[in-house]
Amino acid sequence: MLIRLKFNKLHTICENLNFEKIEKTFMKKIAILGAGRSSSSLIRYLLEQAEQNNWFLRVCDRDLETAKNKIGNHKQAEVSEFDVFDKAEVEREVKQADLIVSMLPASMHIHVIEEAIRQKKNVVTPSYISSEVKALDSAAKEAGVLIMNELGVDPGIDHMSAMKLINEIKEEGGEILNFESFTGGLVAPESDNNPWNYKFTWNPRNVVVAGQGGCAKFVEEKQFKYIPYNKLFRRTEFIDIDGFGKFEGIANRDSLKYQSVYGLENINTIYRGTLRRVGFSRAWDVFVQIGATDDSYTMENTEEMTYRDFINSFLAYSPSDSVELKLRHYLKIEQDDTLWEKLVWLGIFEETKVGLKNATPAQILQKILEEKWTLEPEDKDMIVMWHKLVYKTKSGDRKEIQSSMVSIGEDQTYTAMSNTVGLPVGICCKLILNGTINSTGVDLPISKQYYEPILEELKAYDISFNEKEVK
């Protein structure tokens, strides 16, 4: 009887135990803050490896439905409603996690990182290192944690692939003379069906205001060069990529800071930029020249304004000339110029109402473009990256290497942009959690301990570089 009673008691205890809860406590917990488009491939990668690595994912977002859609029914994941401006919620999520991944907008990272350092937790993010985050380097080192930044595609894969080449040349005794690097988010060839050869693959606003806020700065043959915004889209260079044709490169705002980042302080030429298909920049310059990309003021009566009114508002008054004729005359666009086809196709001369209250020119232009440049459900995007290095060998010979990477998206969820941003982040998370990476401080992936394993694993996802020597 006593044995039976003891057995029944033990059975009752076992029944009351929540083995799932017990199992969860022994898992490494990853908090992913932000479940937007850029997080899709990251979450998929971590979930695919969660069971074998004993991970548990907590996906946090203001939109619970979006977060739920990202994890599906995976048993080693859950969602949480999250507001980065709520200090209690930030503290709670950091406390529960072994590793935090911030996929929030760049300006919001600081709220997470400060708390993570206080609680001695590692953080990974794909965003550029801000001055605020950079200032936390000593605090992070003192706390013994790593704040890894710039681990997406650009910045991210561009850093890693460039540093791989630079270090290989230096290790052979070579001297880097010229370095050029370009990246573009574009529509895949099979989905390229408009005269601009372009569709939005990321934040449309960033495209509309690109290049503003200061002139482009770079070094060319030991001379500092500057391109003001009003000339930026007419100073391009052509780049051929095997199998994908010709592109044009537009200078990024500041290439000079990469001299020290890449250890190229004495280089002759350093130039970083953005890729578009040939002809895009010349057509886009139309909007720059008339002032349609300006985001510094609001226009009057924009809700009732038409697209045609919008364009006309930047042109001189004429009692007889049409909007089309005035625009042609103002910018000296010939009647048979192929550029004109691009403008007409966008619908900028139509009587469609803007429908936005108190809008800036840039906001109105963005609305017009979103109607034409949005990816269709069956469309695919494409990431293109290209490096050129000219160097002098140990023996004094001058050589040139070109390295290119093209990644095509799978669908509208697992886009090329999402893959090339999310996968490097996910791989880095794995390397931190398994102890392969154990550095501290505020860092970016320019050393071998980061780029060698990450670039190697990316090959399994068809994200790899084709390197060739140019004679």
Segment 213-235, tens digit of pLDDT: 889 999 999 999 999 999 999 99
- Residue 198: domain span: 157-283+377-470
Mutual angle of helices 448-458 and 416-433, in 10-degree steps: 130
> Of 117, 148, 179, which residue sits at a domain end?
148
Model confidence, pTM: 0.91
Tokens read off for 323? 């909007």
Mean pLDDT of 147-154: 96
Domain boundary among 148, 175, 206: 148
Do the domain assignments include residue 355?
no
Identify whether residues 401 and 260 lie together within a single domain.
Answer: yes
Nearest to 421 by CA among 114, 187, 163, 102: 102
Q: Same structural domain for residues 395 and 260?
A: yes
Q: Are residues 251 and 165 in the same domain?
A: yes
Name which of 7, 2, 72 is nearest 35 in CA terms.
72
Cβ neighbour number for residue 318 with a 10 Å cutoff: 12
CA distance 313 to 351: 14
- Least confident range from 7-11, 261-265, 410-414, 454-458: namely 7-11
User: Is residue 175 a part of any domain in this protein?
Assistant: yes
Give pLDDT, residue 157: 98
Q: What is the average per-residue pLDDT within 153-173?
A: 97
Residue 274 is which amino acid? T
The predicted structure's pLDDT at residue 19: 43
Does 412 reside within a domain? yes
Say if residue 134 is in the same domain as residue 256.
no
pLDDT, residue 447, reads: 96
Q: Is the same domain home to 163 and 120?
A: no
Domain assignment of residue 85, yes or no: yes
* Same domain, yes or no: 224 and 252: yes
Residue that terminates a domain, selected from 131, 148, 165: 148
Element (H, E) at 406: strand 398-408
Q: What Cα–Cα distance (Å) separates residue 151 from each residue in 102, 283, 417, 443?
A: 11, 32, 13, 10
In a shared domain, residues 167 and 273: yes
Domain assignment present for residue 365? The answer is no
- Specify the residue for token string 């999250």: 82
Residue 41 lies in a domain: yes
> Does one domain contain both 82 and 166?
no
Please check the confidence at residue 18 and state whether its pLDDT lies above 80.
no
What is the per-residue pLDDT across 49-61, written as a single tens digit (0 to 9) for each? 999 999 999 999 9
Do 25 and 44 lie in one domain? The reply is yes
Give the pLDDT confidence of 366-399 residue by residue, as tens digits: 999 999 999 999 999 999 999 999 999 999 999 9
Q: What is the separation, in whole angstroms, between the first and last Cα of the chain?
A: 92
Looking at the structure, do residues 67 and 22 belong to the same domain, yes or no? yes
Does residue 329 belong to any structural domain of this protein? no
CATH number at residue 215: 3.30.360.10
Count of domains for the chain? 2
Q: Is 1 a residue whose pLDDT tops 70?
A: no
Mean pLDDT of 97-120: 97
DSSP labels for 227-261? E-GGGGGGSEEEEEETTTEEEEEEE-SB-TTHHHH
Residues 242 and 123 in one domain: no
> Residue 94's domain is classified under what CATH number?
3.40.50.720
Residue 92 has pLDDT above 70, yes or no: yes
Q: Note whether 190 and 69 are same-domain residues.
A: no
Q: Who has greater pLDDT, 313 or 201?
A: 313
Residue 37: pLDDT band (50, 70, 90) is confident
pLDDT for position 51: 96
